[in-house]
Amino acid sequence: MHAHYPRFPQVLRVALPALLLAHFAVWPIVGLLSLHAGIMAAECTLLWFVALYIRRHRLIAEDLLLLNATPTATLLLTIPVAICCSLVIAEFDLYLAQLLGRIDLSTPLSFQKTLLEIQVVRGLADVPKGLVIIVLAPVICEEPLFRGLVFTSLCAHYGPRWALGGSALLFAVSHFNPWQLIPLFLFGLFLGALVYWTHSIYPAMLAHAVNNLASITGVNLHTYFGLEGLGPSQHLPVPLVLLAGLILLAGLLLLSRRPAIMPLLVKREFS
C-alpha cells in the first residue's frame, strides 16, 4: 500500500485550484504588464502549489515527482523520439484544424493571434527570454504537476492505465484550448509513457522542452523566413511524416525495453 502518495481527490484539490488560479487570475492580472510576464507567473503558480503540498504533508519530493536518475543513453534517445513525436502530432493537429474549419469550428482568430504573439521573437535580444518563458518554464513548472504529482499518485493507487490517461487528460484540459484538446492529450500520453518506461520525470521534461523548442522555431522560421514546410499552417511532405512516424515507433519500442535505474514507486510506510 502506497500510503504516502495522495489519492485522486487530494490530487484534484491541488491541481484544480492551481490551474484555475493560474489561468483565470494570475495570467490576466500579471499579463497586464506583459504577456510573457503573465505566462511566467502562471507557470510558477503551478509549481508553487506542488511545492506547498509537498512541504505541508512532509512528502519526499524525489519519490512523488520521480526525480530518479536516468541513463544518459535513454536521455539521448529521447531527443530524436521527441522530435518525431512533435512532427507527427503537429501534422495531426493541422489536419484536425482543417476538419474543424470545414464544420465552422475553427480556432478564433483572436486566440490564434495570442498564440503567435507568445511565440514570435521580436529580435535577437528576446531570444533568451523566449527560451526561458516558452521552452523552459512550462517544462520546469508543468511536469512536476502532471507527470509528477498526478501521474505518480494515480499510478500508486489506480494503476498505470489510469495514471497515463488521467495525467494526459488533465494536461490537455489545463491548456483551456478545446481546439487542440486531442493533440494535447496525445502528447500527454507520450510524456506519461516516457515516465512509465524510464521511471523518471527527466525524459518527459526533456521531450517537453524539445517539443516547445520545435514549436517556437517553426513559428519564427515561418514568420521571418517564409519556410512554409516548418510553419504552423503547412503540411510536411508525406515521406517525411512517414519517416518520422517510423522513427517514433522504433524509438518508443527501444525506450520501453531499456532498463530503469530506480523503481517507479517507492514504498514508504509512516507511523
Residues 6+ apart with CB under 8 A from 32: 38
**Could you report the per-residue pLDDT of 144-190, keeping only the tens digit for each?**
999 999 999 999 999 999 999 999 999 999 999 999 999 999 999 99
Q: Under a CB-based contact definition with an 8 Å cutoff, are residues 145 and 49 in contact?
A: yes
Contact 210, 87 (CB under 8 A): no
pLDDT for res 233: 67
Assess contact for 232 and 112: CB atoms under 8 A: no
Which amino acid is present at 261?
I
CA distance 167 to 155: 10
Return the exposure string of 71-110: e unless at least 16 CB atoms fall within 10 Å of the residue's CB, then b: eeebbebbeebbbbbbbbbbbebbeebeeeeeeeeeeeee
What residues have CB less than 8 Å from 206, skipping those under 6 apart? 75, 78, 79, 82
Confidence of residue 18 (pLDDT cuts 50, 70, 90): very high
pLDDT mean over 97-119:
89
The grid coordinates of residue 50 equal 506542488
pTM above 0.75, yes or no: yes
Q: What is the pLDDT of residues 221-247, one digit of tens each?
A: 877 877 765 555 678 899 999 999 999
* Residue type (1 letter), 110: S
Contacts of residue 153, Cβ cutoff 8 Å, sequence gap at least 6: 5, 6, 7, 8, 10, 11, 64
Q: What is the mean pLDDT of residues 92-97?
A: 93
Count of other CB atoms within 10 angstroms of residue 217: 15
Can you give the three-state secondary structure of 209-246, one letter per residue? Answer: HHHHHHHHHHHHHHHHHCCHHHCCCCCCCHHHHHHHHH
The per-residue b/e assignment along 137-176, b for 16 or more CB within 10 angstroms, e otherwise, is bbbbbbbbbbbbbbbbbbbbbeeeeebbbbbbbbbbbbee
Mean pLDDT of 242-264: 95
For residue 270, name the pLDDT band (cuts at 50, 70, 90).
Answer: very low
* Proportion of the chain in helix, strand, coil states, percent, rounded to 5: 75, 0, 25
For residue 16, how far is the Cα from the chain centroid? Answer: 17
Please tell me the distance from the alpha carbon of residue 248 to that of residue 245, in angstroms, as a whole number: 5
Taking only the tens place, the pLDDT of each residue in 19-38 is 999 999 999 999 999 999 99
- All cell numbers assigned to 147: 507527470
